[in-house]
Amino acid sequence: MIFFSADHHFYHSNIIRYCGRPFNSVEEMNEEMIRAWNSVVSPEDVVYYLGDFSLAIRPVELFVRRLNGEKHLIMGNHDLCHPIHKKRAERLFPKYFEFGFETVELSRNMEISGHDVLLHHMPYAFDEAESEGRPTPKHRAYRPAKEDRWLLHGHIHEKWKVNGRMINVGVDVWDFKPVPIEEIEKILKEAD
């Protein structure tokens, strides 16, 4: 089975407060998210992880191999292998393979239920702020240009689950569990 997930932010204690996560400590959050992942993903499954695994490299080393499934990373701005981190990214990029990711990419195209779908950490660049003349989103240079195809993403945490042709697969809107492809197919079918 195929799953999608994003935005765990392992060992990021402030994310508990920022996103209103129901945990008393970062250790509790880490262990509960690992338990939730492994409750739905088997060792034979494939998981496309759409970024922001951790703000540091040590949690990648500690946790990737504890998570079931074959894991493919679509880099997020908080992953230290992302080009936004320049020299550090060049140095740490190989570590993500060493610690258990099968592939590491900025984006990936995939066909789901006959739809051409983009996998990317960030939502499309065009949004309400731009149309209303407000400041453009942070990290705009790394956001994908708006297209008419479906986008699976993370980055925005609890802001939305589905917005137009964008589906947020972040843990904050999916009960801290990876999203099975059947859920994505259901959303695509309902939109047709």
Give pLDDT tens digits for 32-75: 999 999 999 999 999 999 999 998 888 888 899 999 999 999 99
pLDDT of 41: 99
Query: Sheet holding 179-180: strands in order across?
Result: 101-105, 70-74, 46-49, 2-5, 179-180
Burial 92-110 (b: 16+ CB within 10 A, else e): bbeebeebbbeebeebeeb
Query: Which residue ranges form the domains of the chain, and what is each CATH number?
Result: 2-191 (3.60.21.10)
Tell me which residue has tokens 């540091």: 56
In sequence order, what DSSP letters do the residues of 129-175 get, joined into one string?
A: HHHTTPPPPTTGGGSPPP-SSEEEE-SSTTS-SEETTEEE-BGGGTT
pLDDT band at 184 (very low <50, low <70, confident <90, very high): very high
Q: What is the pLDDT of residue 83?
A: 86
CB 151 within 8 A of CB 123: yes
Give this prediction's pTM: 0.91
Q: What is the pLDDT of residue 137?
A: 58
| pLDDT of res. 129 | 55
- pLDDT the model gives residue 17: 93
Which of 160 and 24 is assigned the larger pLDDT?
24
- The more confidently predicted of residues 36 and 89 is 36
pLDDT tens by residue, 114-168: 999 999 999 987 655 554 555 455 666 677 777 789 999 999 888 889 999 999 9
Q: Is the separation of the CB atoms in 73 and 105 below 8 Å?
A: yes
What pLDDT, on the 0 to 100 scale, is given for residue 19? Answer: 92
Region 82-94 average pLDDT? 89
Confidence of residue 182 (pLDDT cuts 50, 70, 90): very high
pLDDT of residue 150: 96
Q: How large is the average pLDDT for residues 22-39?
A: 97
